[in-house]
Amino acid sequence: MSDFILDIEQIRKAARDQMEKGAVTANYQADRNAILKILDSALATEWICVLRYTQHAKSAQGLHAEPIARHFFEHAQQEEGHANELADRIKQLGGKPDLDPDSFRRRAHTQYTECNSLVDMIKENLIAERIAVDAYSAAIRFIGPSDPTTRRILESILAVEEEHADELADLLAAFDPRENLN
């Protein structure tokens, strides 16, 4: 293995010359626009999920509504946390987080769907989580070693989406369809 040699003079010069680029340095190896596009879709996806989960949490009715609504609301709060992490990363990479709700549906991978029954809500959210898991997995594979910070952020979000999907699958399995009164 060859020695690790750093041209520190060059690095110092670039750090000073391109100060306005903030966290993005000459050693940033990813395609910045491609990464920003990934982060933008993820941001819109997380907001769609915040809105869908909140709507479900606040409109759930029926015998088992309370604990399920609590799950939905907890997930909504975690999705909002994800959205904020993504927005921070977009800013660090020199982008501008786009929170225009008019374009959320177009930019997001998941859908905003209102449901009339608890079981449909669980299914709808489980589908959305599975879409998010697939989309984050593909993005992580695409990024590879090119942008370790973005990759780490997406990996930590992916782990939570997998937990969400698992919880919802458990809720669905525990759900007795005869009790699906509302």
Report if residue 85 touches Fe ion, rule: CB under 5 A: no
Smallest separation (angstroms) from Fe ion to the CB of 106: 19
Look at the block and give the residue holding tokens 């608890």. 118
Smallest separation (angstroms) from Fe ion to the CB of 86: 9
Stretch of 28-36, 102-110, 122-130, 167-175 lying at the interface with Fe ion (CB under 5 A): 122-130
Report if residue 79 touches Fe ion, rule: CB under 5 A: yes
CB atoms within 10 A of CB 122: 25
Stretch of 6-14, 22-30, 56-64, 129-137 lying at the interface with Fe ion (CB under 5 A): 129-137
Report if residue 124 touches Fe ion, rule: CB under 5 A: no
Which one among 64, 164, 168, 171 touches Fe ion, defined by CB under 5 A? Answer: 164
For the segment 13-52, give every residue that binds Fe ion (CB under 5 A): 46
Which residue's CB is nearer to Fe ion, number 79 or number 124?
A: 79
Report if residue 82 touches Fe ion, rule: CB under 5 A: yes
Number of residues that bind Fe ion (CB under 5 A): 6
Q: Over the range 24-46, which residues count as b (16 or more CB within 10 Å of their CB) and which as e?
A: eeeeeebeeeebbebbbbbbbbb
**Longest CA–CA separation in the chain, Å:** 72
Stretch of 18-26, 36-44, 145-153, 158-166 lying at the interface with Fe ion (CB under 5 A): 158-166
Contacts of residue 105, defined as CB under 8 A and 6 or more positions apart, other chains included, come to 48, 111, 112
Q: How far apart are CA 120 and CA 26, in angstroms?
A: 49
Say if CB 58 and CB 102 are below 8 A apart: no
Task: Mark residue 144 as left, alpha or beta (left: phi above 0; alpha: psi -120 to 50; beta: remaining).
Answer: left
Which residue's CB is nearer to Fe ion, number 124 or number 161?
A: 161
Say if CB 89 and CB 147 are below 8 A apart: no
Which one among 85, 124, 147, 161 touches Fe ion, defined by CB under 5 A? Answer: 161
Report if residue 89 touches Fe ion, rule: CB under 5 A: no
Assign 75 to helix, strand or coil.
helix
Size of the chain in residues: 182
Residues that bind Fe ion (CB under 5 A): 46, 79, 82, 129, 161, 164
